[in-house]
Each structure stands twice: as structure tokens, then as C-alpha cells.
């Protein structure tokens, strides 16, 4: 009983003294409409095993819980802390019911960082903005009401998401900066937690930047050059053969026009692929040539169907047999420290080929033979690409064969992350179609349960990327690009050749469409992180890998908003910690003496 009392006393002292307390603006619905209100958030971080606990009063919506988990993850990455070794406790209190909760995500991230680093906060700063997994700050509603909340909390600086300075009010644009001035609140736009942190702490954590590894970059180029050469050769030969065959055949005006148009489109793709190859953009060239191949494969089997040379059912049966053979090849490969990424890519493509074939059979049984051929052709080529990927590297007898069960904890971690982010996005965007996300999650769960942990990781990444695009689509695309490139460089610094990450980065940089660019930069950063995580998981009980991801650059006495804010106030935190330590020691000693008496 005395031991329990001692523990309770220690817990009380830690929670009441060492906790970070930060204010956030919220919106409450009243009889007079929406008003801004400040809420109090208390944050404690203790040694633990990765849990995030939340206590809210009044009850908030599920989106705040999703924000809290992402906030903890981002805070860990920014500070270089492994959050699997900590538990995070968040207590939210408000005098009135608040509407929604994701807008406190950025604030919670700041609070967790300060708790992890034992930094004190400037109580005159407030922030609103959702938190995205890459550390960027996302848009929110109720900007003007939240500026009013900052005024009520006696805050002089209000941070809002970048791009939200001008607020639409009944068709009129209101300048949030000017609105804040009238209230004595300076409104500042920030795009990421890195930008926001100095205003709260007077300290700036600089994203640790890593340089490219020329040797690995050269190795990547060599691998992808060979792949693009093979696919370009295959596509160019197929185009020449089909051009002759289509010109020598006639299948009716309508079909002839469609097929000739598809042939022209495939030629355009091939010209782009050849141009990209000459510019050393080998993955981009591979993608363009592969898309041309899908069109050419469709033309070939449509022509065979129309001329009576091949039945649709026979074609789909052949494709099914071909994919079964491809799958055996992909899954017969040993997973090693040298090829795990290529095996993952191959398994992912086999899974996609099987999904495409299912769609082909559905179209066939619905009597839509044209669609059946399109899906079947795509499925066949996707199966071929799976074999290409697992054959990218020569067998390396020096590479360690991986027991896939070692990746089970990592697969579970990626699956949990995918579920958190997808739920978060669904609550933020309730009208957004989520069928694809749900299907990807089901596939990830299915792969995990069957012990296919690499595929579970890949499907989880697929879910995360698709879910995150709506979060960052209106954000700073250069931030996403820089974030991805830095992840790639970090992987290279660990001696990894991040083929998928480099490929997606290259392809994203070659696109003009903003949504597609963001998506491929996301794929790039996720796959680079996956490479890092896999290598660390396999070496977690050894010293074979350099632990550089925990290094961070901290700049103190940072000049923020034209005013130098020093870190003197942090001495208070140190003094308080010393007092708490003394009290804990006294309490522990007292009860120990009583127990031994």
C-alpha cells in the first residue's frame, strides 16, 4: 500500500509540474452563431510503448484523436525520438462544447515537442492548423473566430496555415492579418511545424539535411537504365509489328478509327519515353514505355478478337495462367538485405495484376468484351512488370537472407499508421469517396494475416499516400519535394539504394499535374522511410547501422518576428525539474525508510 502511495505521489508531482500546458483556439456553436474560444491542452510524455491517450471534456469528435496520434508521430520524427518508447497523455479541457478537433493538431505537435525536449512555451502565442504526417500544417475553418479566441486568451501572436490569410465571408474577402491588427493580435502564416516552433520556444529545429551519395545515385542510374532499355526495345518492336498488322486489317470503320487512334497515342508515349531516356530520366522513360505497352497489348488482343483469331475467354484464361506463373517466380525469390525493395515491388504488382484480372472477368461476364480486353491486357503487362522488378539485380551471395517473420512488427506499425491516417482523413473530409482506401486497407490486413508482411507494408503505404494527398494538395509542393529528397538522401547515407523512392521522385519531378506530383513525392518519401525502417528493424539488436536519424540541429536565440527571443526561460524548466527530482527522492526515501522499519 505504501509503495502504491509513493507511486501516486510521484505521478502527481510529475503530471502537475512537468506537464506542458498549451492553449489552442476552437470554435463553439452558440445561440448567436459560431464564436472563438480558447481551450487548454495538457501534455505529458512518459516512458512507455507507443500509446497515445486522450482525455477530453466536453467530449470532442474522433478527428482530434486521430490528430493526436499523428501529432505524436511527427513530434518524434522532428525531435529524433523513437515514440515507440514513449506514451503520450493529452488532456483537453474547455468551458463550452467545441466543434471538431483536427485544427488543434499543429498545437498538440508543438506541445509534445516541448515536452520531449523539456522546453518552455511562450504563453502569448497561439496556433491553428491540422497536422500532416510530413510535418506540414494543413488548412482549417473558422480562422477569424480563432483569432478572436487568441485575443480572449491574451495572446499577441496567432499562427495560421499558409495560404489562409484571406477568408471568404459571405462572398467578401477578409484579410486575417488586418482583422488581427484591429484586435491587437499579429497574424502570421506558417507552412510547417518547423516554421511555427520558434514563435513558441525561441528555438528552431532545423530539418537535418543529408547530401546525395554519388556512388548510390550512379548505381541506381545503372539499374534503371538497363530496365528502361529493355522495355523501350520491347515497346518499339511491338509498335512496328502492330502498325503493319493494323494497316493490313479492316475491322469496321468504328473499331478501325479507335484502334488507329490508340496506336497514335502509343506512338506519342514512345516518343516521350525515348526523349526521357536521352535525358537520363530512366524511370520516367520506363513508365512512358510501359503505358505505351498497355495500349499496344490492348490493340493486339482487340484485333485478334475482332478477326476471330482469339476469343476473349481464351485470352483471359491465358492471362490468368501467365499471372500464376509470374506469381510463382516473384514468390520463389529469397528476400535478402540487397533485394527486399524489389521483391516488395514485385509482390505489389502481382497483387495489382490479380485485381485487374478480376475486373476483366467481371466485364466479360457482363458482356463488355472491350473492357474485358483492356483490363486483361493491363493485367498481363502488370504481371510482366512484377517479374522485371524482381529481376532488376543479380543474385548477391553475400547478402543476408531475411526471415520475413522479422518484419511482422514493422508491418503492424505500417498497418496501424495507415488505419490512423485513413480514419483521420475520413473525418476531415466526410464527403470524400473512400472505397479505394478501404479496399487497400482490407488488402493490407489480408496480407498481414497471411504472413505476407512485405505486401502488407506496401499496401499500407498505398493507403497512406492516397489518404494524404487531400491533406497537402493545397500546401507547399516544394516542401513535399524537399522532404522526399531528404528522406532519399538519409537512406543513401545508410548505404541503401532506395530504388523505388528515387524512381517515384524522378517521375514526380517530370510531371506537370500538381496532384500527381504531390502523390509521387509522397510515394518517394514513404518508400525511402520504409527502406530505413526495414534496415533498422533487421539491425535493431546490433551496432551495424549508423543511427543518424536521431540527430537534429537546434538553433537557439532565434530571431522571430523581428524580436530576439532567448532561451533563458528554459532555466525555469530545469529548476522545476530539479525541485521535482528532489521531492521525488524525498518521498521515495521516506516511504522506503517506513517500509524497512
What is the model's pLDDT at position 28? 79
What is the model's pLDDT at position 29? 72
**Is the per-residue pLDDT at 539 higher than 90?**
no
Arithmetic mean of pLDDT, 223-249:
92
What is the model's pLDDT at position 553? 66
**Range among 28-42, 44-58, 319-333, 572-586 rated most confident:** 319-333
User: Is residue 61 very low, low, confident or very high in pLDDT (cuts 50, 70, 90)?
Assistant: low
Question: pTM of this prediction?
Answer: 0.81
Residue 346 half-sphere exposure, CB side, CA atoms within 13 Å? 26
CB 383 within 8 A of CB 326: yes
Range from 311-320, 368-377, 471-480 carrying the lowest mean pLDDT: 471-480
**Is the per-residue pLDDT at 315 higher than 80?**
yes
Rounded percentage of the chain residues whose pLDDT exceeds 70 = 84
Residue 125 half-sphere exposure, CB side, CA atoms within 13 Å? 22
Range from 341-350, 467-476, 583-592 carrying the lowest mean pLDDT: 583-592
User: Is residue 586 very low, low, confident or very high in pLDDT (cuts 50, 70, 90)?
Assistant: very low
**Is the per-residue pLDDT at 529 higher than 60?**
yes
- Nearest Cα to Cα of residue 138 among 425, 562, 338, 435: 425
Q: What is the mean pLDDT of the chain?
A: 85
Q: What's the CA gap between 191 and 480, in Å, rounded? A: 11
**Is the per-residue pLDDT at 98 higher than 70?**
no
CB 444 within 8 A of CB 412: no
Which tens digits make up the pLDDT trace of 438-494?
899 999 999 999 999 999 999 999 999 998 888 777 677 888 899 999 999 999 998
| Strand residues in 193-269 grouped as ranges (E) | 204-206
Arithmetic mean of pLDDT, 323-337:
94
Rounded percentage of the chain residues whose pLDDT exceeds 90 = 58
The residue ranges of every structural domain in the chain are 20-208+568-579, 213-310, 311-397, 404-538
What is the model's pLDDT at position 338? 86
Arithmetic mean of pLDDT, 19-39:
83
- Nearest Cα to Cα of residue 527 among 487, 557, 570, 475: 487
What is the model's pLDDT at position 420? 84
User: Is residue 58 very low, low, confident or very high in pLDDT (cuts 50, 70, 90)?
Assistant: low
What is the model's pLDDT at position 590? 39
What is the model's pLDDT at position 20? 92
What is the model's pLDDT at position 575? 38
Arithmetic mean of pLDDT, 11-28:
72
Which tens digits make up the pLDDT trace of 265-280?
999 999 999 999 999 9
Secondary structure (DSSP) of 16-36: HHS-EEEEEEEEEEETTEEEE
**Is the per-residue pLDDT at 308 higher than 50?**
yes
CB 79 within 8 A of CB 116: yes
CB 155 within 8 A of CB 125: yes
Beta strand 125-127 with 86-93: parallel, antiparallel or unpaired?
A: unpaired
User: Is residue 565 very low, low, confident or very high in pLDDT (cuts 50, 70, 90)?
Assistant: very low
CB 151 within 8 A of CB 81: no
- Nearest Cα to Cα of residue 88 among 60, 57, 67, 58: 67
Q: How far is CA 255 from CA 97, 245, 260, 303, 364, in A?
A: 63, 14, 8, 9, 18
Which tens digits make up the pLDDT trace of 120-174?
999 999 999 988 888 999 888 889 999 999 999 999 999 999 989 999 888 899 9
Q: What's the CA gap between 90 and 112, in Å, rounded? A: 9
- Of 326 and 472, which is predicted with more confidence? 326
- Of 78 and 579, which is predicted with more confidence? 78
What is the model's pLDDT at position 138? 86
| Catalytic sites, residue numbers | 103, 146
What is the model's pLDDT at position 304? 93
Region of 451 on the Ramachandran plot (φ > 0 left; ψ -120 to 50 alpha; else beta): left
CB 128 within 8 A of CB 103: yes
Task: Report helix, strand or coil for 43.
Answer: strand
Secondary structure (DSSP) of 115-177: HHHT----TTEEE--EE-TTSBEE--S-HHHHHHHHHHTT-SEEEEETT-SEEEETTEEEEHH
User: Is residue 207 very low, low, confident or very high in pLDDT (cuts 50, 70, 90)?
Assistant: confident
Q: Burial code of 486-508, b = ≥16 C-beta within 10 A, e = fewer?
A: bbbbbbbbbebbbbbbbbbbbbb
Q: How many residues does the chain have?
A: 597
Q: Does 20-208+568-579 carry CATH code 3.30.230.10?
A: yes
Task: Report helix, strand or coil for 184.
Answer: coil
Say how many C-beta atoms besides its own lie within 10 A of residue 320's C-beta. 18
Amino acid at each position: 500500500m505504501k509503495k502504491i502511495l509513493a507511486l501516486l505521489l510521484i505521478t502527481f508531482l510529475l503530471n502537475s509540474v512537468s506537464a506542458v500546458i498549451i492553449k489552442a483556439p476552437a470554435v463553439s456553436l452558440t445561440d448567436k452563431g459560431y464564436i472563438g474560444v480558447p481551450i487548454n491542452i495538457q501534455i505529458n510524455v512518459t516512458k512507455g510503448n507507443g500509446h497515445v491517450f486522450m482525455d477530453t471534456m466536453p467530449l470532442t469528435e474522433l478527428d482530434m484523436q486521430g490528430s493526436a496520434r499523428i501529432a505524436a508521430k511527427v513530434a518524434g520524427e522532428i525531435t529524433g525520438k523513437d515514440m515507440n518508447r514513449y506514451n503520450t497523455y493529452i488532456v483537453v479541457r474547455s468551458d463550452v462544447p467545441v466543434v471538431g478537433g483536427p485544427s488543434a493538431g499543429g498545437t498538440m505537435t508543438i506541445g509534445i515537442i516541448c515536452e520531449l525536449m523539456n522546453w518552455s512555451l511562450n504563453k502569448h502565442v497561439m496556433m491553428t492548423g491540422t497536422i500532416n504526417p510530413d510535418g506540414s500544417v494543413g488548412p482549417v475553418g473558422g480562422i477569424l473566430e480563432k483569432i478572436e479566441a487568441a485575443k480572449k486568451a491574451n495572446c499577441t501572436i496567432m499562427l495560421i496555415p499558409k495560404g489562409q490569410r484571406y477568408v471568404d465571408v459571405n462572398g467578401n474577402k477578409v484579410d486575417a492579418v488586418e482583422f488581427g491588427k484591429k484586435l491587437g493580435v499579429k497574424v502570421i502564416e506558417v507552412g510547417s511545424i518547423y516554421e511555427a516552433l520558434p514563435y513558441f520556444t525561441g528555438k528552431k529545429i532545423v530539418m537535418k539535411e543529408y547530401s546525395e551519395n554519388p556512388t548510390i545515385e550512379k548505381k541506381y542510374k545503372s539499374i534503371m537504365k538497363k530496365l528502361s532499355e529493355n522495355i523501350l526495345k520491347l515497346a518499339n518492336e511491338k509498335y512496328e509489328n502492330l502498325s503493319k498488322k493494323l494497316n493490313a486489317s479492316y475491322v469496321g470503320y468504328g473499331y478501325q478509327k479507335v484502334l488507329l487512334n490508340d496506336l497514335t497515342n502509343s506512338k506519342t508515349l514512345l516518343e516521350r519515353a525515348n526523349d526521357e531516356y536521352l535525358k537520363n530520366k530512366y524511370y520516367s522513360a520506363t513508365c512512358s514505355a510501359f503505358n505505351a505497352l498497355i495500349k499496344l497489348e490492348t490493340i493486339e488482343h482487340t484485333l485478334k478478337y475482332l478477326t476471330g483469331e482469339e476469343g476473349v475467354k481464351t485470352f483471359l484464361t491465358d492471362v490468368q495462367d501467365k499471372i500464376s506463373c509470374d506469381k510463382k517466380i516473384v514468390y520463389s525469390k529469397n528476400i535478402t538485405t540487397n533485394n527486399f525493395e524489389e521483391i516488395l515491388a514485385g509482390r505489389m504488382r502481382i497483387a495489382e495484376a490479380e485485381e485487374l484480372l478480376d475486373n476483366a472477368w467481371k466485364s466479360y461476364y457482363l458482356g463488355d468484351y472491350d473492357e474485358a480486353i483492356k483490363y486483361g491486357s493491363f493485367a498481363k503487362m502488370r504481371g510482366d512488370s512484377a517479374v522485371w522488378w524482381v529481376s532488376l539485380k543479380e543474385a548477391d551471395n553475400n547478402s543476408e537472407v531475411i526471415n520475413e517473420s522479422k518484419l511482422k512488427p514493422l508491418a503492424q506499425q505500417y498497418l496501424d499508421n495507415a488505419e490512423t491516417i485513413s480514419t483521420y482523413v475520413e473525418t476531415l473530409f466526410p464527403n470524400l469517396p473512400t472505397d479505394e482506401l478501404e479496399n487497400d486497407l482490407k488488402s493490407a490486413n489480408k496480407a498481414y494475416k497471411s504472413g505476407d508482411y512485405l505486401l502488407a507494408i506496401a499496401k499500407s503505404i498505398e493507403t497512406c499516400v492516397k489518404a494524404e494527398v487531400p491533406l497537402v494538395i493545397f500546401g507547399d509542393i516544394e516542401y513535399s519535394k524537399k522532404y522526399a529528397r531528404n528522406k532519399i538522401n538519409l537512406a543513401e547515407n545508410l548505404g541503401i539504394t532506395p530504388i523505388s523512392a528515387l524512381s517515384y521522385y524522378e517521375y514526380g519531378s517530370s510531371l506537370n499535374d500538381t496532384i500527381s506530383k504531390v502523390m509521387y513525392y509522397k510515394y518517394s518519401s514513404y518508400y525511402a522511410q520504409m527502406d530505413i525502417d526495414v534496415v533498422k528493424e533487421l539491425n535493431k539488436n546490433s551496432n551495424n547501422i549508423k543511427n543518424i536519424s536521431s540527430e537534429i540541429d537546434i538553433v537557439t536565440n532565434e530571431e522571430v518576428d523581428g524580436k530576439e527571443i532567448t532561451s533563458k526561460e528554459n532555466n525555469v524548466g530545469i529548476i522545476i525539474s530539479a525541485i521535482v527530482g528532489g521531492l521525488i527522492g524525498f518521498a521515495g526515501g521516506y516511504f522506503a525508510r517506513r517500509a524497512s522499519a
